[in-house]
Amino acid sequence: MRDALNQLFRSAFGAEPSVIARAPGRIEFIGNHTDYNGGTVLGASIDRGIWVAARATAGRSATFASGHSPQRVVVDLPCTAKETGDRAWVNYQLGVWSKMADFGLKQPQGFEFADVSDLPPGAGLSSSAAIELATGLALTTLAGESPSRETLVKLGKKAENEFVGVPCGILDQGVSGFRPARPSRLHRLPRPGVRDRADAGRRALLGF
């Protein structure tokens, strides 16, 4: 997938990316609609995911290319409204950029961005969380930031809730961002507004 990503980026932008990031999809055993109600959840990341590549640019715009769309999308920054129609697939990435400031993170002023995936959208494998986490890794790196995995997970959830407009809990982003090696027990996710964080014990790093 990395070779396909580099080829797409060079074809779309005529240059090499300065950062490449990846986040996995997930499967869910239990937890549907319980993650935002303080219930028990059990999920696992899988070996398929989304790869993204990016580089900073001098202008104040974001340009997107994707392996799943023949269209390049250019958005002026800062962006305050969602894209619609056949441009709506960039809203997850724009949401992450838009909400970075809410966590005290610098935002890249302009950038080029490409993504490829072997994670089928709409298959219940949380492609939305994967693109949010991978985007968060890439854009924070472009901006010279090094947030914790917990912050990236919260950033992805906030982007999906408040920009994309999906009232999801934190299960999908938490499983994508925190990959359990040998979980010794189940954890209950707290209700939003109580202590909205994913458990951060004994986890493997997200991979670039």
Task: Enter the DSSP assignment of 171.
Answer: H
Q: State residue 84's pLDDT score.
A: 95
Residue among 45, 19, 21, 22 nearest 198 (CA): 45
Q: Check whether 46 has a pLDDT greater than 90.
A: no
- Using 50, 70 and 90 to split pLDDT, how confident is the model at 65? very high
Looking at per-residue pLDDT, the higher value among 142 and 175 belongs to 142
Q: Residue 163, by phi and psi: left (phi above 0), alpha (psi -120 to 50) or beta?
A: alpha
Q: State residue 177's pLDDT score.
A: 86
62 in Cβ contact with 111 (< 8 Å):
yes
CATH value of 2-204 in 3.40.640.10, 3.10.20.70, 3.40.1160.10, 3.30.230.10: 3.30.230.10
92 in Cβ contact with 128 (< 8 Å):
yes
Cα(158)–Cα(98) distance, integer angstroms: 10
Give percent helix, percent strand, percent coil of the chain, each to the nearest 5.
Answer: 35, 25, 40
Q: What is the largest CA-CA distance in the chain?
A: 49
Could you check whether the bond before residue 78 is cis, i.e. omega within 30 degrees of 0?
yes
Count of other CB atoms within 10 angstroms of residue 177? 33
Instruction: State the DSSP H helix or E strand holding residue 49, giving kind and residue range, or none if neither.
Output: strand 40-56
Q: Mean pLDDT across the stretch 145-161?
A: 94
Q: Per residue in 154-200, pLDDT tens?
A: 999 999 999 999 988 888 888 888 865 445 555 555 554 443 333 33
Q: Per residue in 95-121, pLDDT tens?
A: 999 999 999 999 999 999 999 999 876
Give the residue extent of every domain in the chain.
2-204
Q: State residue 125's pLDDT score.
A: 85
Q: Which residues of 181-190 are buried (b: 16+ CB within 10 A; e: fewer)?
A: eeeeeeeebb
Active-site positions read: 172
Give every CB contact of residue 145 below 8 A, 6+ residues apart in sequence: 105, 106
161 in Cβ contact with 167 (< 8 Å):
yes
Mean pLDDT for all residues in the chain: 84
Two tokens, residue 143: 């901006």
110 in Cβ contact with 60 (< 8 Å):
yes
What pTM was computed for the model? Answer: 0.84
Q: State residue 105's pLDDT score.
A: 98
Count of other CB atoms within 10 angstroms of residue 40? 12
Task: Enter the DSSP assignment of 189.
Answer: P
Question: How many CA atoms lie within 13 Å of 170's alpha carbon, on the beta-carbon side?
Answer: 26
